[in-house]
């Protein structure tokens, strides 16, 4: 059965913008997050406190966090790869952070210059300090349905890394099809395998749309009972360490599908779609959301 309610984690300002070639500038990033805050979203991933040498698009993370108007009831998580990132995030006032690793050793080396176990060790001080500071920590597992370097990724590896992050204290584990290669049957089987070890309410799904399968994958996972979905307004982005990967599934498309299924999100779809078209304009192209296009034409 489908969940009655789904929480959307809007990752456009981070996962979207980290891989856009055109930098929309700090003021527009702030305006984007403020517009998203007004749509009814409850989780908006605002920035990444990673190395600016690795991801120059996120170099202004502190300015972005300082500039946004925080709406009560909305969480603004930020990505941190290590303790240094955690310190920068806290200094900028972050109240929730997200750590990230992968199910594929090869991908994690390219993305963070560390193997999986080494990345988990880096997270230990982050989790410890976050606990003491009362900061919530989300955990990401990348390449859950395939890796651009390694190819097939064994389900056992996805389960092992998910279980580790959960055991370390991450309140939610986001399962990422980083390169958008998965199909619904595989997505379902992957989620089932992880849910046997980590409770379903602590799981989220994160699909990129490279092969046009993202919405179908989301639906398959909803049928398994997942109630948290990551998506990016306007379908912005990709992944700097996954060549050819397109953006996340568009938030507008996910919300339209959820509302059509009678599932509550608390999100104003028209406001979200207008924000997506505005962002696409800044990026100099059409919105990547089919729903965003259709609503503009209606
Ligand atoms: P490294 O080069 O091995 O780091 O990078 P290091 O510890 O050796 O330090 C080297 C330099 O980086 C030093 O500066 C540090 O101070 C600095 P220097 O002395 O040379 O001037 N440094 C930092 N600066 C700012 N903030 C920090 C930080 N840490 C070190 N936090 C590192 C290791 C992890 C830092 C690097 O590889 C990195 O930043 N990687 C991030 C890559 C990234 O952001 N990828 C995209 C996000 S993941 C994703 O998109 C997937 C996801 O969406 C889910 C999915 O779709 O699957 C989440
Ligand atoms: Mg991603």
Count of CB atoms situated within 10 Å of the CB of 250 = 30
At 275, the pLDDT band (50, 70, 90 cuts) reads very high
147 in catalytic set: no
Nearest CA to ligand 1 atom 11: 51
pLDDT interval class at 183 (50, 70, 90): very high
Which of 10, 19, 48, 50 most suits a substitution to test ligand 1, by most atoms within 8 Å of the C-beta?
A: 50
Atom of ligand 1 nearest to the CA of 239: 50
Question: What is the spatial distance between Cα 188 and Cα 224, in angstroms, rounded to a whole number?
Answer: 7
* Distance between Cα 81 and ligand 1 center (Å): 6
26 in ligand 1 pocket by Cβ < 6 Å?
Answer: no
Q: Which atom of ligand 1 is nearest to the CA of 100?
A: 58
For all residues of the chain together, what is the average pLDDT? 96
CB atoms within 10 A of CB 155: 17
> Is 239 a pocket residue for ligand 1 (Cβ < 6 Å)?
yes
Q: How is the beta sheet containing 96-102 ordered, strand by strand?
A: 43-44, 7-10, 228-231, 203-207, 172-177, 136-142, 96-102, 78-79, 47-48
Cβ of 54 closer than 6 Å to ligand 1, yes or no, is: yes
In angstroms, the CA 102 to CA 148 distance is 12
Give residue-wise pLDDT tens across range 77-100: 999 999 999 999 999 999 999 999
pLDDT at 252: 98
Distance CA 162, CA 143 (A): 12
pLDDT of residue 19: 87
Ligand nearest to the CA of 61: 1
The residue whose CA has the least distance to atom 1 of ligand 1 is: 113
* DSSP label of 94: -
CB of 160 closer than 6 angstroms to any ligand 1 atom: no
Write out pLDDT tens, residues 108-117. Answer: 999 999 999 9
Q: Kindly provide the ipTM of the predicted complex, given to two decimals.
A: 0.98
Cβ proximity of 251 and 237 under 8 Å? no
Residue nearest (by alpha carbon) to ligand 1 atom 9: 51
* CB of residue 48 inside a 6 A radius of ligand 1: yes
Ligand 2 center to 206 CA (angstroms): 7
The response to whether residue 178 sits with its C-beta less than 6 Å from ligand 1 reads yes
Separation of first and last alpha carbons in the chain: 32
Residue 166 in 3-state DSSP? Answer: helix
Residues with CB under 5 A from ligand 2 (ion): 15
Arithmetic mean of pLDDT, 153-180:
98
């Amino acid at each position: 059965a489908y969940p009655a309610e789904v929480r959307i984690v809007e990752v456009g300002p981070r996962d979207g913008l980290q891989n856009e070639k055109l930098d929309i500038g700090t003021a527009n990033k702030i305006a984007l997050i403020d517009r998203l805050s007004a749509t009814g979203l409850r989780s908006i991933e605002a920035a990444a406190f990673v190395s600016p040498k690795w991801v120059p698009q996120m170099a202004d993370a502190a300015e972005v966090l300082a500039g946004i108007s925080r709406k009560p009831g909305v969480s603004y998580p930020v990505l941190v790869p290590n303790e240094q990132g955690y310190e920068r995030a806290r200094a900028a006032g972050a109240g929730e952070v997200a750590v990230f690793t992968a199910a594929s050793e090869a991908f994690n080396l390219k993305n963070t210059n560390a193997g999986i176990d080494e990345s988990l060790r880096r997270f230990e001080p982050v989790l410890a300090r976050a606990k003491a500071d009362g900061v919530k920590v989300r955990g990401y597992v990348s390449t859950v349905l395939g890796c651009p370097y390694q190819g097939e990724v064994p389900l056992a590896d996805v389960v092992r890394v998910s279980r580790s992050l959960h055991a370390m204290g991450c309140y939610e584990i986001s399962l990422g099809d980083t390169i958008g290669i998965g199909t619904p049957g595989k997505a379902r089987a992957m989620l089932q395998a992880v849910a046997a070890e980590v409770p379903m309410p602590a799981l989220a799904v994160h699909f990129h749309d490279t092969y046009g399968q993202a919405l179908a994958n989301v639906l398959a996972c909803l049928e398994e009972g997942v109630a948290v979905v990551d998506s990016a307004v306007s379908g912005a982005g990709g992944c700097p360490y996954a060549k050819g990967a397109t953006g996340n599934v568009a938030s507008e498309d996910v919300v339209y599908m959820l509302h059509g299924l009678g599932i509550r999100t608390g999100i104003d779809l028209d406001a979200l779609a207008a924000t997506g078209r505005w962002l696409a304009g800044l990026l100099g192209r059409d919105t990547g959301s089919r729903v965003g296009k259709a609503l503009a034409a209606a």
